[in-house]
Amino acid sequence: MTESLSHDDLRLCLEWQIELGVDEAISETPLNRYELPQQAPRSPAPAADAPSAPAVQAGPDPVAVARAAAEAAPDLESLRAQLAEYAHCDLKRGARNLVFADGRPGARVMIIGESPGREEDQQGRPFIGQAGQLLDRMLGAIGLSRQSPDIGRAVYITNVLPWRPPQNRDPKPEELAMLLPFLERHVALAAPEVLVLMGNAACQAVLDSRGITRLRGTWARGFGLPVLPMLHPAYLLRMPQAKRDAWADLLELDRHLEGGS
């Protein structure tokens, strides 16, 4: 087509393209971008002696790491240190403090809650906010206390999760799974006679069951011990009409401790 154009015509075409902004020639030969290739290009075959790509190695199993760390702890102080060093739970990154336990180790009653709240995260102790204050009053009504000088009337308190979840959300299944070995070892080292499970998360961890309004007040067995599920004090603050059920459960716990089971 360009052969039929005069020199002046070609110059005018070039000037027109320059006015449009064309400032570089990409190729000396024209390219038809609508033309389909006769055959799809093939990737070159690898050389016979070329090394194969290494397989992607999966990371360590967080549950297996937790189990090994928990089993290596000979006492509660060592377990606390192992838990503080555990790096596979993302909750640790957003929490201020590790919330390990409160009360007297060796007490007959060990209470297991769900997770720390804001006050607990700030001070590093479980059940010290509004729910914890209600729990102390509930225990006091049957003569129990986390700091009782009488080990027979003392309690020991911990949570399923040692770090506060964002916005106090419910624990995720993978979080429960990876922290369960630490909880089980915690119970073994504290050596209580009775476990009191406060709320659904504790029941899920120890009994692999949920539905606290159905489970509460009925004895079960978990971690080789008698277990009594109870309504969480935070639930009682929202639903004060349920305090009657909580009082009945406290009386059942007291009856058990007095040898009534």
Q: What is the pLDDT of residues 50-82, one digit of tens each?
A: 555 555 556 899 999 999 999 999 999 999 999
Across the beta sheet with 155-159, the strand order is: 102-103, 155-159, 109-113, 194-198, 225-230, 220-222
Q: How many domains does the chain have?
A: 1
37 domain-assigned: no
29 domain-assigned: no
Pick from 4, 172, 158: which is nearest to 83 by CA? 158
**Looking at residue 177, which CATH number applies to its domain?**
3.40.470.10
24 domain-assigned: no
2 domain-assigned: no
Higher pLDDT pick, 22 / 187? 187
220 domain-assigned: yes
State mean pLDDT over 82-94: 96
- List Cα–Cα distances, 140 to 27, 236, 261, in angstroms: 90, 16, 21
22 domain-assigned: no
Question: pLDDT (tens digit, 9 = 90+) per residue, 158-208?
Answer: 999 999 999 889 999 999 999 999 999 999 999 999 999 999 999 999 999
202 domain-assigned: yes
15 domain-assigned: no
Strands 155-159 and 220-222: unpaired
Domain that holds residue 68: 62-257
